[in-house]
Chain A
Amino acid sequence: MADHTLSSPERLSTLDRAVQRVLGQPIDRTDGPAKVSGDARYSFEIEADNALYGHILTAGIGAGRIDAIDADAARAAPGVVAVLVDDPRLPADAVNSFDKLKSWRLGHDIRFFGQAIGVVVAETQEAARAAARLVDIRYAPQQGRFTPDLSHPDEIEPEGLRPPVKTGDFDAIFAGATFRYDQSYSTPIHFPAAMEPQATLARWEDDELILHSSLQSTGGATKAVGRALDIDPQKVRVIAPFVGGGFGGKTSVGAEAIYAAIAAKHTGRPVKIVQTRRQVAALAHHRAPTRQRVRIATDADGHIRAFGHHAVIAQRDNRSFVEPVHIGTTHLYAGDARLMTVDLARADHPTSGAVRSPGEACGTLAVEVAMDEAAEALGLDPIEFRRRNEPKVSPANGKPFGTRKLIECYEEGARRFGWDQRSAKPASRREGDWWIGHGMAAAIRSNITVEARATVTLEADGSAHIETDMTDIGTGTYTILMQVVAEALGLSPDRVRVSIGDSSLPRSAGSGGSFGASSASSAAALACQEIAGKLAAKLDAEAKDLTLQDGHATARNRRVPLTELLGGEAISAKGHAKPGKHTDAHVSASYGAHFAEVAVNAFTGEVRVRRMTGIFDIGRVLNEKTARSQIVGGIVWGIGSVLHEDGVIDPHSGQFVNPDFGEYHIPTHADSPPIEVHFIEEVDNLANEAGAKGVGELGNSGAGAAVANAIYNACGIRVHDFPITLDKLLSALPEQD
């Protein structure tokens, strides 16, 4: 096995010396034809003989207890096979491998509105749904904590994903500084809102459970399912070749998977359950609402001396995830004195969790607007202010950076966008009824290296097959892994087969945290490196002297077809990538710069984003087309977060007011402007064997702030409570001439 712990910044010869010219190319997605023709089967679409349908029962109060459940009428309803409400394993919402069981095993205690409490199983969807309305649930309601006070946290510096940053004497330096900026911000609940709702087909083969489920990881999910059902994870197989979006919301295992598994065992038949769109809002996690305070102190020349970023977020009892609000701010700008913390207010809300760009999405809305505001107060161009505060090493811990081309991103973006045409004075450009403005912001996304395994087989016929339990949730995994293997083994794209999305395959960490592509690609590259070594040996050569191209191996002046060299025998190798000593010895992140042009209606306050430009540093670009698409999607998310998205909880009942697409407004076609994206590519030897950094969450980091800054530049109004809906602009619009 090519077991590799990254401990020295050496290039992986296999990819760097490869000459096939497949990797990085803007190749069409290999799963494209299946997806555009409806041929790709998602979890609920897998055929199963004699399957039953489940409909999840949810709580109609936000806090209290269930006194009694009368399911007699439902059980007697036409087509109903079972009503399950008493199994202690029935989870309140999603399950995972890290929270305590008691976080979701709530029995008849109700801790949030919409909590799952049982399931009706019937011969058809229609029968299950109709019977669910017949279940009579008697509650003993209590007063819930539906409106957490984010200015008075319950837990100071809770255990969570992100440790606090405390360097230097922040209070003293801030108090004594020439220039001080101090501003509070708030961001609302965001839903991941993948188009495919959480859905599972569960069936048992003897004591083995097979779940076709819409999840971001397959292997990782087996552990969570095993815990939730009190069974051996080895007896769980999770299959997810196509996943209709995740965005963090499918990093845990959906409640419906556990209900389906229990119901399938109970009835002895396969069971299909899909969460309704409105159920998803409460049963899958959301991004926590935040209250943030940003403090920036500089000297007279705008050099930052102290940087403070404090946040309070909401989370329900016993859930351990803490939105890492300052994760991006930690290493972004200079300032020896740093105070960055996240505190927690407990709430009787559905679970909050990691949604696309956790920390950065909400954190940059505050910090990147703060930088714009501070720059203006200092009389500096916002790019110049950032340039003066670009650190050479991490200002938080003194460690070196991996590749960091942030300054180049600013400069290239400014040139392409036409930043020099911007008027620094707000409300100075008018076109008809519209104020026109321009804004920019930095993008940063921590790059995470995780353990990943892949098996690559070079078949006797000269084709290759890669296997890993990785998922493709729209991220391009099928295509990227093909490209890595084709590049490393010198094969044309159609000679590589990719098998993913099945927990029976070698274990990866799945899709999440933007680590999927780079980690799985590293494992693939390591496996290919081992194969290349064996091929070289067959030519009595060193691997470094071997060239693989177009199905031929060349070394020592001999060019031999792979089929001949293999002599009828396949070569298989296992790649195992994982973090090493130097992972912690440097700071790794992806970077970028966003530029936005907006129009603000002078009479209604309506905001239209007219165009955006972004320049990004993501290390090695594995596929220029899919990487660009990921960034474009992230930028549109940024537009959603700054202008539209706002999950609202009713303070009286604790229920979501807007748990569907009719009322929770994600961006549409009409909200999405032309978006220009470019990469400044430099292979990051320190990041991982593939030299690639995360891309999936980067576009969403800072994009909203660029729009917010452009709105200010257009009409002179600063909004610190997101989203910037027109009611927040209307009363302050500039006087008409």
Chain B
Amino acid sequence: MAWERKVGKAMHFTINGKNYDADPDIRTSLLDLLREHLNLTGSKKGCDHGQCGACTVLVNGRRINSCLTLAVMHQDDEITTIEGIGTPDNLAPLQAAFVKHDGFQCGYCTPGQICSATGMLNEAKQGWPSHVSERLEGDVELTDDEIRERMSGNLCRCSAYPNIVDAIREVAEEPA
């Protein structure tokens, strides 16, 4: 249609291991692609400005705010959303730990918290330091202060923070 601003051909995406074709307006953010075009509504929009983390997804294994990047930029990427982490009948360990420790109330920030924690645990495993790390090199000991610091890009107005830390700690301590 004439009103649309399109690249003129369908874009291709790989999300949660599945292939998707879509032809969104080129101004569409990755978040809006997921929510409004692909019916993957698990990723949430809390601020649309990269301030709250509710839209966090994994792109090639790294956590990003999907509201701050355009869909058109991610046609060659492996994208993982909360729907790809686990399902209600087959929860991933982090998801199960969030339920067990009551790491959410309204649930709106929760997919972002869990995607962010998934990425964060990998960062820690790879030895990435944080603002509160004593040393910049070597193994990371994932103390509660480290978890809090590394998860502070994900806001939770219900303030389930202590329970979220409990859930993440439990999973972090599990033998890999």
**A residues whose Cβ falls under 8 Å from a Cβ of B:** 28-29, 31-42, 44-45, 47, 77-80, 123-127, 130, 193-197, 242-247, 274, 276-277, 473-476, 625-626, 628-630, 632-637, 660-662, 666-670, 672-675
| A–B complex contacts, Cβ < 8 Å, 20 sampled | A33-B95, A36-B104, A44-B45, A125-B36, A126-B32, A130-B27, A474-B105, A475-B105, A629-B158, A632-B160, A633-B160, A636-B159, A660-B47, A662-B49, A666-B157, A668-B155, A669-B147, A672-B161, A672-B162, A675-B162
Q: Which residues of chain A come closer than 8 Å to B96, judged between CB atoms?
A: 36
CB within 8 Å for A629 and B161 given contacts A36-B110, A79-B3, A475-B105: no
Q: With both chains docked as a complex, state the minimum distance between the C-beta of B45 and any C-beta of chain A, in angstroms.
A: 7
Interface residues of B (CB under 8 A from A): 1-5, 24-25, 27-28, 32, 35-36, 39-49, 51-52, 54, 81-83, 85-89, 91, 95-96, 98-100, 102, 104-111, 114, 144, 147-149, 151-152, 154-165
Q: Are B4 and A78 in contact (CB under 8 A)?
A: yes
Known: A45-B35, A196-B108. A36 touches B161 (CB 8 A): no
A127 proximity list for chain B (CB < 8 A): 3, 25
Select B158's contact among A77, A633, A660, A668, beta carbons within 8 Å: A633
- Which of B3, B44, B87, B89 contacts A196 (CB under 8 A)? B44
Which 8 residue pairs spanning A and B have beta carbons closest together? A38-B42, A244-B108, A474-B105, A35-B107, A474-B106, A78-B3, A636-B159, A79-B3
A77 and chain B: residue at smallest CB distance:
B3
CB distance from A36 to the nearest CB of B (A): 4
Query: Which label, helix, strand, loop or mixed, suits the secondary structure of the B interface?
Result: loop
Bound complex: CA A84 to CA B148 (Å): 46
Chain A residues within an 8 Å CB radius of B24: 124
Please indicate the chain B residues that have their CB under 8 angstroms from the CB of A277 in the complex.
46-49, 51-52
Complex: how many Å from CA A174 to CA B142?
A: 56
Taking CB atoms, residues of chain B closer than 8 Å to A668 are: 148, 152, 155, 161
CA distance A277 to B157 in the complex (A): 14
Tell me if A669 and B42 are in contact (CB < 8 A): no
Which B residues lie within 8 Å of A40 (CB)?
107
Task: Give the CA-CA distance A274 to B164 in the complex, in Å.
Answer: 28
- What is the CB-to-nearest-CB distance from A78 to chain B, in angstroms, rounded to a whole number? 3
CB distance B149 to A193 under 8 Å?
no
Query: Out of B2, B42, B102, B158, which one reaches A37, CB within 8 Å?
Result: B42
- Residues in A with CB closer than 8 Å to B156 are 195, 669
Q: Which residue of B lies closest to A33 (CB)?
A: B88
Nearest neighbor of A246 in chain B, beta-carbon distance: B106
Q: B160 contacts which chain A residues (CB < 8 A)?
A: 629, 632-633
Is A195's CB under 8 angstroms from B54's CB?
Answer: yes
Flag if B111 contacts A38 (CB, 8 Å): yes
- Picked from A39, A276, A630, A633, the residue with its CB within 8 Å of the CB of B48 is A276
**Sample of 5 more A-B contacts, CB < 8 Å, known A277-B46, A661-B49, A669-B154:** A194-B157, A474-B104, A474-B107, A626-B105, A629-B158
Q: Are B82 and A38 in contact (CB under 8 A)?
A: yes
Given A78-B2, A244-B107, the answer on whether A626 and B102 have CB atoms closer than 8 Å is: yes
Q: Is the CB of A661 within 8 A of B155?
A: yes
Task: From known contacts A125-B36, A193-B157, A245-B158, infer whether A670 and B148 are also in contact, taking CB-CB under 8 Å.
Answer: yes
| CB pair A47 B39 closer than 8 Å | yes
Residues of A within 8 A of B82 (CB): 36-38
**Chain B residue contacts of A80, Cβ below 8 A:** 3
Residues of A within 8 A of B46 (CB): 195-197, 244, 277, 661
Task: Specify the chain B residue showing the minimal Cβ separation from A633.
Answer: B159
Q: Provide the bound-state CA to CA distance between A667 and B54, in Å.
A: 15
User: Using Cβ atoms and an 8 Å threshold, which residues of chain B touch A242?
Assistant: 106-107
Nearest-neighbor residue (CB-CB) of A664 within chain B: B51
Closest partner residue, chain B, to A628 (CB atom)? B102
Chain B residues, CB < 8 A from A77: 3
B102 touches A245 (CB 8 A): no
**Pairwise interchain contact B155-A38, C-beta atoms closer than 8 A:** no
Specify which chain B residues have a CB less than 8 angstroms from the CB of A666 in the assembled complex. Answer: 155, 157
Q: Which residue of B lies closest to A130 (CB)?
A: B27
The verdict on A29 contacting B102 (CB below 8 Å), with A126-B25, A669-B164 known, is yes
Residues of B within 8 A of A130 (CB): 27
Across-interface contacts of A124 in B (CB, < 8 A):
4, 24-25, 28, 36
Contact yes or no, A37 B157, CB < 8 A: no
- Choose from A475, A661, A669 the contact partner of B149 (Cβ within 8 Å): A669
With contacts A274-B45, A625-B102 known, is A195 near B114, CB below 8 A?
no
Cα A126 to Cα B29 in complex, Å, equals: 9
Residue pair A37, B106 in contact (C-beta under 8 Å)? no
**A670–B152 CB distance below 8 A:** yes
Question: A636 touching B3 by the CB < 8 A rule?
Answer: no
Cross-chain contact B42 with A245 (CB below 8 angstroms): no
> Which B residue's beta carbon lies closest to that of A42?
B108
Decide if A31 touches B151 in the complex (CB within 8 Å): no
A474 interface neighbour in B89, B91, B155, B158, Cβ under 8 Å: B158
Contact B110 A35 (CB under 8 A): yes
Q: A668 to B158: give the CA distance in the assembly, Å.
A: 11
Check A28–B163 contact: CB distance below 8 A.
no
Residues in B with CB closer than 8 Å to A123 are 1, 3-4
Tell me how far the C-beta of A565 lies from the nearest C-beta in chain B, rounded to whole angstroms.
33
Contacts of B102 in A (CB 8 A): 28-29, 625-626, 628-629
Q: Select the residue from A475, A632, A660 with max chain B CB neighbours within 10 A.
A: A632
- Closest residue of chain A to B115, judged by CB? A38
Q: Are B41 and A37 in contact (CB under 8 A)?
A: no
Cα A82 to Cα B35 with chains together (Å) = 24
Q: Which residue of B lies closest to A675 (CB)?
A: B162
B86 and A37 contact, CB distance less than 8 A: yes
Instruction: Name which residue of chain A comes closest to B41, CB basis.
Output: A45
User: What is the CB-to-nearest-CB distance from A308 to chain B, in angstroms, rounded to a whole number?
Assistant: 33
Of B2, B51, B106, the contact of A660 (CB 8 Å cutoff): B51
Q: Determine if A669 and B148 form an interchain contact, defined as CB atoms under 8 angstroms apart.
A: yes
Chain A residue, CB-CB nearest to B81: A38
Bound-complex Cα distance A475 to B105 (A): 6
Whether A195 contacts B157 in the complex (CB less than 8 A), given A34-B88, A669-B164, A672-B148, comes out as yes
Which A residues are CB-close (under 8 A) to B163?
629, 632
Closest to A242 in B: B107
Taking the nearest CB of chain A, how far is it from the CB of B7, in angstroms? Answer: 14
Q: Determine if B155 and A195 form an interchain contact, defined as CB atoms under 8 angstroms apart.
A: yes
CB distance from B30 to the nearest CB of A (A): 13
Residues of A within 8 A of B40 (CB): 38
User: Which residues of chain B have C-beta atoms less than 8 A from A476's C-beta?
Assistant: 105
Contact status A633-B105, CB under 8 Å: yes
* B113–chain A nearest beta-carbon distance, Å: 9
CA distance in complex: A632, B1 (Å): 52
B162 near A674: Cβ-Cβ < 8 Å: yes
| Interfacial chain B residues near A126, Cβ < 8 Å | 5, 25, 27-28, 32
Query: Whole-angstrom distance between the alpha carbons of A246 and B109 in the complex?
Result: 13
Are A41 and B41 in contact, with the CB atoms below 8 A?
A: yes
- In angstroms, Cα B1 to Cα A196, docked, is 32
Q: Is the CB of B106 within 8 A of A196?
A: yes
Q: For the complex, give the distance between the alpha carbons of A541 and B54 in Å.
A: 55
Per the bound structure, the CA–CA distance linking A632 and B82 in Å amounts to: 26
Q: How far is the CA of A636 from the CA of B156 in the complex (A)?
A: 10
Most chain A beta carbons < 10 A, residue from B40, B104, B106, B164: B106
Contacts of B106 in A (CB 8 A): 194-196, 242-246, 473-474
A195 and B3 within 8 A (CB): no
- In the assembled complex, the Cα of A675 lies from the Cα of B148 at a distance in Å of 14
A29 — which chain B residues lie within 8 A by C-beta? 99, 102
CA A135 – CA B148 in complex, angstroms? Answer: 44
A225–B98 Cα gap in the complex (Å)? 36
Which chain A positions have C-beta within 8 A of B45?
A: 44, 197, 274
A602 to B156, CA, bound (A): 30
Determine the distance from Cα of A40 to Cα of B110 in the docked complex, in whole angstroms.
Answer: 11
C-alpha spacing A474/B52, complex, angstroms: 18
Minimum CB distance partner of B167 in chain A: A36
Nearest chain B CB to A63 CB, angstrom units: 28
Residues of A within 8 A of B154 (CB): 669
Q: With A and B bound together, what is the CA distance between A37 and B104 in angstroms?
A: 12
* Bound complex: CA A45 to CA B39 (Å): 8
